[in-house]
Amino acid sequence: MGTVDGKVAVITGGASGIGAACALALAKEGARVVVTDLDGPKAQQVARKIAEFGGETFSLAQDVANEAEWADVIAQTEDRFGRLDVMVANAGICVFGPVTEMTLADWRRQNAINLDGVFLSTKYALPAMRRAGGGSIVIMSSIAGLRGSAGFAGYCASKAGVRFFAKAVALECAGAGDNIRVNSVHPGIIDTPLWATIGVSTREGARTRIVDPQRAGQNDAPIGRPGTPDEIAAGVVFLASEASSYMTGAELVFDGGITAGALPRRQVKPS
């Protein structure tokens, strides 16, 4: 039996990267998994992978910022699996660029997905979890929600927003005594397809800035490499399971030491 055996989990943004890794990891640990993503065909591919090793799953095309779609996602989950125990609010985008070059449309689009999408994930998960007698909401933030980063002001704002949103809802649930825990996860430089999509619309037109996560991990993470989606997924499985039953309103940071502080220029080996 897995650590989340029998639980029912919805993973938004589950078609690739961290979301896909979470869906696969939860399924391998015994959860029944609903994979949602704006890219419906890719979400379906992830569900097929889960089905190949015997997992119970289905996928849905979903725009997390569209409230009208949320009631149907929850209804289909309960109709198919009878309950909802875990919500992994993972869907997100990153728009790069100085504040003076970021358009209001980009600002709003990023917040619609990263912030509004998390709000809606939680708003619609809570009643279903209460019907099930409890649950775990895992909100994907970032180390950009813990510290500022030049060129990522909009992204930092959205990820800091969901960080404190998680804490506030955790307190609401604790006060209600509904057995629902809410925690946030803060990845650092993780080798995912997201890096290839980081861009910003400027006065001269849209441009895309490609970041090499391998080089960034080697240069910026004290541990000397980027993280992997599977490493983040392991933390999500932990938060979804009863192993974290005394954790709520907390943060799990996976950043290879980036937020621990700066490395000295010259490393001194212990004698």
Which pLDDT tens digit goes with each residue over 28-39? 999 999 999 999
Residues in contact with 104: Cβ distance below 8 Å, sequence separation at least 6, in sequence order: none
Once rounded to an integer, what is the mean pLDDT over residues 124-142? 98
Pairing of strands 199-202, 205-208: antiparallel
Rounded-to-5 percentages of helix, strand, coil across the chain? 45, 20, 35
The pTM assigned to this predicted structure is 0.90
**pLDDT value, residue 3:** 86
Structure tokens at 249: 């309103």
Lowest mean pLDDT among 182-186, 187-191, 248-252: 187-191
Nearest partner of 240 among 138, 170, 171, judged by Cα: 138
Q: Is 124 a catalytic residue?
A: no
Lowest mean pLDDT among 132-146, 229-243, 253-267: 253-267
Using one digit for the tens of pLDDT, what is the confidence trace for 135-163? 999 999 999 999 998 889 999 999 999 99
Average pLDDT of every residue of the chain: 90
Which range among 173-177, 178-182, 253-257 shows the weakest confidence by mean pLDDT? 253-257
pLDDT at site 214: 62
Q: DSSP states of 74-90 as a string?
A: HHHHHHHHS---EEEE-
Q: What is the dihedral of CA 162, 135, 30, 33, to 10 degrees?
A: -60
Decide if pLDDT at 85 tops 60.
yes
Rounded distance between C-alpha atoms, residue 10 and residue 125, angstroms = 9
65: exposed, middle or buried (Cβ count in 10 Å: 0-12, 13-18, 19+)? buried
Q: What is the pLDDT of residue 172?
A: 98
For 267, counting Cβ atoms within 10 Å of its Cβ (0-12 exposed, 13-18 middle, 19+ buried), the class is exposed
Q: Which among 124, 152, 155, 195 is annotated as catalytic?
A: 155
